[in-house]
Amino acid sequence: MIYRIDLLNTNLPNDCQATWEKCVEELKKIEGFQSAELLRVYKNINRSRYDLVSIIEWADRRSYQTSTGDENTYAFLPSGQLLAHNNIYEVINAGAQAGINQAHTNLVVTNPYRISEKESDINASMWDKSKEHMLEKQGFVNARLYKRLDDTAQYYFFSRANWQSEALFMNQFEGKDFKEIISQFEDTFSICFSNSVVSTTKKEIPA
């Protein structure tokens, strides 16, 4: 599976969401479409500000490329972004708490990594250690680390972690162990807290 992931800045999030939903209805008609989810940010923690996160899953590159044949199918993107930035990713690491369904998620923590390739190994290692730490914490649901598949992608990595609540997520910062894992990387973080506002899959397409 591959994922088109876009971080959207907008002063009109409701209008952008409505456009996104219309586009996804068209994208669902294309063979290879798997799922789509829109996250709406409610709190910016670090440096970067973004308002919405679009995650669209495709079966393979061929089906994704088919979807880009008409820029209108991605009308929710800023003009020119579809062609200028091939924001496609694959999952390279993941973890989930046994027995907890993603439906229990009330918080999605996102973090795009604008780093160089030479910084990728140490950042991937840090994320893996963070994941192992989170797996032991109450309220953790699951997490994924995505890596770019194209050099024009705006971010080298993108991560998301689903939690049952913001309070439970923040509890992990009380101990020194987690702070030691992330301390040297905090200046590069662009963490936002968001909620999943729209989610759809190909299963919803009438036969």
The answer on pLDDT for 205 being more than 50 is no
Alpha helices by DSSP H, listed for the chain, are 13-27, 61-67, 81-84, 120-135, 166-171, 176-182
Measured in whole angstroms, the distance separating CA 34 from the mean position of its chain's CA atoms is 15
Cβ-based neighbour number of residue 9 at 10 Å: 13
The average pLDDT across 16-24 equals 97
pLDDT: which is higher, 35 or 183? 35
Residue type for position 196: S
The lowest-confidence range among 62-66, 130-134, 169-173 is 169-173
Distance of CA 99 to the CA centre of its chain: 23
Q: Is the pLDDT of residue 128 over 90?
A: yes
Question: What torsion, rounded to 10 degrees, do the Cα atoms 145, 148, 92, 43 define?
Answer: 10
State the burial class of residue 56 (Cβ atoms within 10 Å of its Cβ: 0-12, 13-18, 19+): buried
Task: Give the burial class of 130: count Cβ atoms within 10 A of its Cβ; 0-12 exposed, 13-18 middle, 19 or more buried.
Answer: buried
What CA–CA distance (Å, rounded) separates 144 from 160? 6
pTM of the model: 0.91
pLDDT at 54: 98
Question: CA nearest 149: which of 75, 58, 54, 67?
Answer: 58
Token representation of residue 36 = 């789509």
pLDDT band, very low/low/confident/very high, at 181 (cuts 50, 70, 90): low
At 101, is the pLDDT very low, low, confident or very high (cuts 50, 70, 90)? Answer: confident
